[in-house]
Amino acid sequence: MEQAAAGSPKAAQASRPPRLSDYVSEWIAERRNGRGEALRPSTRRTYESYLRLHIGTAPLGRLRLDEITPEHVRAWHHGLDPAHPTGRARVYAFLRTVLATAVADELIAVNPCRIRGAGQARAVTPVEVLTPQEVADLADAIGERYGAAIHLGAWCQMRVGEVLALRRRDVDLDARLVHVRRGVTWIDGRAQFGPPKTDAGIRDISMPAAVAQVLERHLAKVGPGRDALLFVGRTPGSPPPVQTFADSVKRAARRSGLPQTFRFHHLRHAGLSLLAEAGASVAELQSRAGHSTPAMALHYQHARAVRDRELAERLSAVIDQR
């Protein structure tokens, strides 16, 4: 097999294209990220689960690449569980990406994944945009162990894996900066630290003064040494498993009167939405959030535009009362 490009399995000498399931397996084995590095263990496991559960066992997986038609893809997609729209969208997007590589490898002429919007899913859980007071109440409700994490999620717009991977060395109180250099995932019950998925995830985030004050108090309770974790679980020197932390957030949300659908990532949404309302540009939102493309930042700009129209309508009502 000849390697066409980084992460691109190419069967240059094969007289017939391989079966889809075999090609996907090779694609996963040879895939590299944008930095030319092997996939993170958590990403590899996710891709392998897509192959094992949704592609390899389906009739589609037994077809050769050149046999797959848009009709085959539609039938396969129709069989994916509609009760899990996010998972369904991710599996479809994965297959579309794999087959795009097959096009680049000249194993097929066109990509048969052509279902409009199938790679996107609306959030099943409504996103809650908290007020600053609600963020403070949530931090109080979760307690001293994780209170600072709530403020980092909201006002530094950090992902949960980024927050739980923070060390003392990653916080510069004098410059009021948080250095995001890694994240944490859990594989077979063990914490796995690694760099962000994309270069955009490596960033320095300016802290509001109030967050710097919260972190200064929190650091007084953190273990010694530059590598001491800011947030630890039951096991000394190890962060809490993401699900354990998520359960703590849910309990705190109930105690502070937030909807049962509240999740930690809603804090990031709230902070970015407020930044957009304050006039942050797409580039600024993209940089602060660590998005690799402007698409997600545009979402918050759209929210700002909707809010602007609402304000204009209120102003119209005042004008009409003349």
Tens digit of each residue's pLDDT (9 = 90 or more) over 193-241: 988 877 888 999 999 999 999 999 999 999 999 999 999 998 888 999 9
Per-residue pLDDT at 305 exceeds 60 = no
Q: Identify the active-site residue in 268, 269, 288, 304.
A: 268
Domain identity same for 10 and 75: yes
The mean-pLDDT minimum among 32-46, 96-110, 231-245, 256-270 falls in 32-46
Q: Identify the active-site residue in 31, 151, 159, 269.
A: 159
Give the model's pLDDT for residue 315.
59
291 is catalytic: yes
Domain boundary among 277, 294, 314: 277
**88-114: burial string, b at 16+ Cβ within 10 Å, e else:** bbbbbbbbbebbebbeebebbeebbbe
Q: Identify the active-site residue in 47, 92, 146, 300.
A: 300
Provide the mean pLDDT of the chain.
86
Contacts 24+ apart (CB under 8 A), 74-79: 74/115, 77/115, 77/118
Count of the separate structural domains present in the chain: 2
Structural domain span for residue 253:
132-277
Give the model's pLDDT for residue 41.
83
Q: Is residue 15 exposed (0-12), middle (13-18) or buried (19+ Cβ within 10 Å)?
A: exposed
Domain identity same for 52 and 139: no
Q: Does the pTM exceed 0.75?
A: no
217 is catalytic: no
268 is catalytic: yes
Residue 126 resides in a domain: no
Per-residue pLDDT at 158 exceeds 90 = yes
Q: What is the pLDDT of residues 84-122, one digit of tens each?
A: 888 999 999 999 999 999 999 999 999 999 999 998 876
322 is catalytic: no
**What percent of the chain clears pLDDT 70, i.e. is strictly above it?**
84
31 is catalytic: no
Domain identity same for 179 and 95: no
Tell me, what CATH number does 80's domain have? 1.10.150
Q: Identify the active-site residue in 40, 77, 181, 291.
A: 291
Number of Cβ within 10 Å of residue 168's Cβ equals 15
